[in-house]
Every structure is written in C-alpha cells, then in structure tokens.
Structure 1
Amino acid sequence: MNKTAVVTGAASGIGAHTARRLCADGWHVFGLDLPSATLQAAENFTPLPCDVRDPAQVESAFNGVGGKLNALIACAGILRTGPIADQTVEDFDLVFNVNVRGLWLCAKYALPALKQAAADGETARIVLLSSIASIRPKVNGGVYAASKAAVSQLTKVLAVENASYGVLINAVAPATVDTPMVRPALASNAGNYKPSGKSPLGRIAEPEDVVRLIRFLLSDDSAYMTGTIIPVDGGTAAAFVPA
C-alpha cells in the first residue's frame, strides 16, 4: 500500500489509535498534535508538531506532508463542561477554536492534495470527528455539543462542495469514548456532566470501536458514501437512555 494520511490529535485518544492502526495497515501517517505533545517518529509515522488553531502552523504542516495525500482524519478536540451561562469566554473560544476552526483549517489545506489524488484515481477521503452530542446534547455539555453540531454541518457542506472532485467526506459521531479527554469528566462528574455510560450495550466505547468505522470510511467499501454523519454510540440515542 502506498497511501498517505494526516491524523490530527495523534498523540492520544482516538487520534493515536487511528494513527497506529493505519501504520499497521501500511499507510504512511503524518501525525499532528500540539508542539508540547509527545510524538515519536516510527515506522510509517512522521510526527508534525502543530497547533491546529494557528493557520500558519497548519499550512506549514501540510506543506511538510510533501504534496501526496490520500486522507485527512481530524481527531483533535477538546471538552469543557458546565452550564452554558457559567462558561468563560476563554473556554468557549477554546472549544470552538480547536473543535471547529482547527478542523476547518485542516480540511482547507488538505483539499488541494486530496483533489489531486482523486484526479489521479487514488483514494481521497476526509473523516471528521463529530459527536453524538451533536444529535443529542447533554445538560452541562452545551458548548461542546454546539461545536460538534458545527462539525456535522461543515461535513455535509464540504461533502457536497467537493463531491464532483471525487473527494468523499464523512463524519463519525461517537458517544462517550474512554480517552484522556473524557476521563477527568468521568472521574469528577465535573459540572454534573453525565457521560453516555449506560448504553444498551452496557459500556462506553473504546477507541478501537471508532477506529474500525474510520478504516471502513477510508476503504473502497464506502465508495458511495459522502456527507454522512454516522453514530458510534452503542444504541444510546436509539434507546434514549437518560443522559
């Protein structure tokens, strides 16, 4: 396999699991995360320090990829909890700058290379990380839910705008996933935020539950899918389990 992917948020959580699995599948992965994050070069893996909120850093990172790109998997994200009226302006801006602005910047700079890949008959995909909160928001999780709703709508419009070029763009919408981003909220019940822990399957998601869907969306088996937001929630939304 001679395919190249950019994975954001590659130092931990869903991003780290995605990067490792794609490397094992034979992809060359460029892993983006904050300059302060610990990212080590490995077989098929090139770390690129990058704050996705910063246009200059994002442009530089994609220039570092070298022109060939088959997939962007945008996993970088941040969670802040508490009543909407109690959120600080700084926290609101941080959530939207990482979860929405950062994702948009990465898509913006990925698309020229992805369009070229599609024109050359190669794989050209974007997978964005939304959340089940974009469909069913939680009390004390409103700012995060609003940011992920924005991700879902960006996914749909980006997909339609780029369908004629052959670039397929979808989003996955997990419920609570056992990652470093979520664990503090699980441990402290911060701001009375209640994660989706009581799914009909009786557990929260593991990162690999999400990675399996991401791999499907990068495969030929999803060649007629674009503009779709796919829940990975263990039946939580279907059962309307109490939040």
Structure 2
Amino acid sequence: MGGRMAKTAAITGAASGIGRAAVQRLVAAGWTVAGLDLPGPRLDALAAEAGPGFRPMPCDVAEAAQVAAAFEALAATTPALDALICCAGVLRSGKMAEMPVEEFDRVMSVNVRGTWLCARAAFPLLRQAARPEAPARVVLLSSIAALRPKVISGAYAASKAAVSQLCRVMAAEWAPEGILVNALAPGTVDTPMVRAMADPSVGKGYQPSGASPVGRIAQAEDVVDVIQFLLSDAARYVAGTTIPVDGGTQAAFIPPGSR
C-alpha cells in the first residue's frame, strides 16, 4: 500500500474483534492510536500488549457525556486527528414482534447513536488535521445486513442501514472540510461477539451467515485490510460509499447443496 498514511487515529470498539485488529495493525505501522471501549480487562490487556503507541480511553459510546469527555481529553494532547474508525457495535437477536424494548434500544444506542456521537465529537479534530493533499478519514462499520437483512437480526440490520445512511450524509457534508467518510459492510466475521451469539443459550435463534462463496467466513484482518486501504493515498477520491467485505455473500443466492 504505497503513499503517505496518516499517523493519528481514534478507534472505537478497540478492545475486541475488528477494532482490536485495527489497533494492532495501525500501531505496528507507526500510528498513535486512541482506543475507546468499555472499561475492563480486555481494554487493559490491549493497552499492555499494544505498547506506547496506544492510549486506552474507557468510554461507553452510547453515553453523550462520556464521549464528549473522551474527545476533550484526546484534544488536550492530540489536537489534530487524521482518522476516526468506528467499530463499536452490539448484536442482539430476536423476532421483531418479540424483541424486548431495552435490547432494541441498546442496539440502536450503540450502533447508531454511538457512531454519530463519536463522529460529531471527532469532527473538529479531523478538520484540524485535514489538508488539501491529505484529507482526514472516517471509516464507519456498517454490515452486509444493511444491504441484505435476515430474520432474527432485524434490529441489528436496521441499525447498520442507519450507519450507511450516516456515512452518505456525513460524506457530503464533510468532504468540503477535507474529511472523507466511508463505511464497510462486512459479512460474518469471526469475532468474540459473533462467537458468543452463535451460542444457542445467548443468541436466541441467531444464525451466522455461514461460509461465503470464497469458502470461509471473514477474519478481522480481512476487514482491516480494507480499512487500511481507505486510510491510504490510494483512496483519496473515495467518499460516501459502503464497501461490502463479504467474500461475495450478497452477490447471489446459493441454494443449499448446490456446491
């Protein structure tokens, strides 16, 4: 991946899954990364592992006061932010007529409200970093569920469709400020969240999408590869799009037993 890359980033959902893989990749590439996630042993372990290039920032992204405080603290030491990567998300399953209100609200609060709160708080820092030859970048995590929803995961699909629409509007509003906004739509990714939901005692009927046409589900690193592309000079004319990273899952229906 040639060309200049930015060097300061904030990543939400940093302690697990795609967010954790993104932290590891960028810190290894020389970035300074602030990682937002719920306080606890996973964030502590990542801080110990990632080293001095990583700054843990305990935060519930659904809480406006916590997000504001986190980005105020970040601005005190990092007044210009080259990239924001919003990976924080939760998955709850259940039929639309049966899902508890509090579970629906939590999905929307983290996946939609949390994404917007963090993007809004990061905006002044991103604008400060943006230059004509090197725009700042925002990468949001949508999902293939936003493009092809499935039963039992309706709340999650709706939340991720909202993220894709946030991406489009923010891209149009922020491009004149030198900030490029894009989203990714992963298929099923082998993460702790997905593995937990696959447990019948937890997932309430949730079923992973299964192997893609390329023959496997995604690893977090597959998604981070595309994040890294969107942060590079090669993506300096890419804005406002949701890019599927699904191994062709949504390309066509594959009937059981046809392969």
Is the structural similarity TM-score above 0.5?
Answer: yes
Give the % identical residues: 59
- What's the offset of the Cα at 1:242? 5.9
Match of 1:8 in 2: 12
- Scaled by the length of structure 2, the TM-score of the pair is 0.89
1:221 matched to 2:234? The reply is yes
Letter in 1 for 2:93: T
Among candidates 199, 204, 226, match of residue 191 of structure 1: 204
**What amino acid maps onto 2:165 in structure 1?**
Q
**2:122 aligned to 87, 93, 110, which one?**
110
Equivalent residue for 1:23? Answer: 27
What is aligned with 1:88? 100
Deviations 1:81-124 (A, max 9, x none): 11111110100100000000000000001111111111475440
Specify the alignment match of 2:67 in structure 1: 58
Measure, in 2, the Cα distance between the counterparts of 1:24 and 1:220: 19
Query: Aligned-pair distance for 1:15?
Result: 0.3
Of 176-185 and 132-141, deviating more is: 176-185
The answer (yes or no) to whether the contact 1:2–1:28 under 8 Å persists in 2 is no
Which residue identity lines up with residue 143 of structure 2 in the other structure?
Answer: S
Structure 1, unaligned runs of 5 or more: none
Q: Deviations over 1:44-68 (max 9, x none)?
A: 0000011101111111111122312
Moved more, 28-37 or 160-169: 28-37
8 A contact 2:13–2:20 mirrored in 1: yes
1:97 and 2:109 correspond: yes
> What is the CA deviation profile of residues 17-47 of structure 1, one whole-angstrom value per residue up to 9, with x for unaligned ones?
0001000011100000012353243220000
Q: CA deviation at 1:213?
A: 0.2
In structure 2, what is the equivalent of residue 167 of structure 1? 179
Q: Name the TM-score, length of structure 1 as normaliser.
A: 0.95
Q: C-alpha distance in 2, partners of 1:240/1:31?
A: 38
Contact map agreement 1:14 1:179 (CA 8 A) in 2: yes
Distance 2:96 2:116 in 1: 24
Shift of 1:3: 1.5
SS of structure 1 residue aligned to 2:97: helix
Find the counterpart in structure 1 of residue 156 from structure 2.
144
What RMSD in Å do the two structures reach over aligned CA positions?
1.7
Q: Structure 2 unaligned runs (5+)?
A: none
The residue number in structure 2 matching 1:48 is 57
Given that 2:12 and 2:19 are in contact with CA atoms closer than 8 Å, whether structure 1 keeps it comes out as yes
Identify which range, 168-177 or 61-70, moves more after superposition. 61-70
* Aligned counterpart, 2:245: 232
Partner of residue 35 from structure 1, selected from 34, 39, 45: 39
Summarize the Cα distance change of 1:194–1:242 in structure 2 as closer, same or farther, 3 Å threshold. Answer: farther
Equivalence for 1:176? 188
One-letter amino acid of the counterpart of residue 176, structure 1: T
